[in-house]
Every structure is written in structure tokens, then in C-alpha cells.
Amino acid sequence: MTNLYKKHVLPRLVALSCGTRSLDPMRTRACSGLAGRVLELGFGSGSNVGHYPEGMTEVVAIEPSDTAWRLSAGARAASAIRILRGSVDGQQLGEPDGYFDAALSTFTLCTIPDAAAALAEVHRVLKPGGTLHFLEHGLAPDEKVQRFQRRVEPLQKALAGGCHLTRSVVEMLHDAGFQTTELDTFYLPGAPRFEGAISLGVATRS
């Protein structure tokens, strides 16, 4: 994958695929209950901004792509909630321990090279009892779909900026020290099952 594609083309493709209106109800559910100072891991082009609840006071956006950050300018300008760009690398956050009341991650854990490191960092910067709200795709619940995911994952990673299909969201959260308190798993309507196995819920920093 060329550097030009990764820097300029891929962020626009992700903005188009992840910014569809069909995902809006799920984004609203993922953002529901967020309050106070919130870390958003993988801010992207700002697809969640219009779904932020009134209880949020500040968002610190973790986004490595300058192109995606520029694409989010309109959403940020229209938001009544203060949005700041934080650390560039979610695997090594510069924010202090216990700084955030909550965190948000949507369609991000599939792509971060070291998702375990990123979740460990989110755990560190959350206050005790803080919550991580998530909307992610990953390992399907059905073994037949899982077998296909394993076959096509190398191609998926090559074409989609390192996107993994076989990461278990719940297992990763548990390994990072989170307790899943709300969870809904389902296949995204209209999407191929190997790409559309969704986990939506809330995990608490234990």
C-alpha cells in the first residue's frame, strides 16, 4: 500500500463507508450515557459528533490521520461541545492517569496495530469506574463465518488499512481490565456477515 493511498485516499474511503446514515441509530446508542470529559479513540472524520449527548462537556479526539482531522472540520465547527485533538497515537497516550470520565470507540479496534496496548492506555486514562462505550466489528459468533473471516483477513488488511476481521472485542476488553456491563451482538443489516459482525455496548474500568 503506497504512502499516498494511506495518507490521502484511505481516510476518505473510511469516511464514506463509516459515515453512512444506516449507522446513525447505532452511533446514537453507542454515545448514549456519555457525560463529562470524554476520550474518543479513532475520531476519524467526526461521524459521532452529531450523536453526542448533552451531558458531555469536552471531547479529546485521538486521530492519527491529518486528512481525517481536516475532513472533520465541519462537524467540529457545528458542535456545541468543545472538541480538542489529543495524542496522535492511541497506543501511547500522553494524557494523564484518570483524566477522563468516559471513552468512546467506534469502528476503531479493528485497525489499530496493537489494540491491546490502546485499550490498556484507555483503561489508564479513565477514572476508576469510568466507562468505555463501543461500537465495533470483529469476530463473528458463528464458526462457519469465522472460518471465512480467517481466509479473507489478509486481503482485508491489505485493502482496508490493516483492518482485522478476527479480533474478539469482548475478549480484548476483558484482557485490558474492563468489565462488560452492556452488550448487544448482531450482524449489520445489508452487510456481508464476515464484515458485519457487530458488538455494541459499554464496559467499565474495573
- The confidence score (pLDDT) of residue 19 equals 66
- The confidence score (pLDDT) of residue 41 equals 98
- The confidence score (pLDDT) of residue 12 equals 73
CA 205 – CA 123 distance, rounded (Å): 6
pLDDT averaged over 10-residue windows placed end to end, the chain, 206 residues: 69 70 94 98 96 97 95 96 96 97 97 96 98 97 97 92 94 98 96 96 96
Report strand pairing: 197-205 vs 178-187: antiparallel
Cα-based torsion angle of the residue sequence 163, 169, 175, 181 in order, rounded to the nearest 10 degrees:
150
Output the 3-class SS for the chain: CCHHHHHHHHHHHHHHHHCCHHHHHHHHHHHCCCCEEEEEECCCCCCCHHHCCCCEEEEEEECCCHHHHHHCHHHHHHCCCEEEECCCCCCCCCCCCCCEEEEEEECCCCCCCCHHHHHHHHHHHEEEEEEEEEEEECCCCCHHHHHHHHHHHHHHHHHCCCCCCCCCHHHHHHHCCEEEEEEEEEECCCCCCCCCEEEEEEEEEC
- The confidence score (pLDDT) of residue 16 equals 67
Q: Residue 166: which region, alpha, beta or left (left: phi > 0; alpha: psi -120 to 50)?
A: alpha
CA 63 – CA 89 distance, rounded (Å): 7
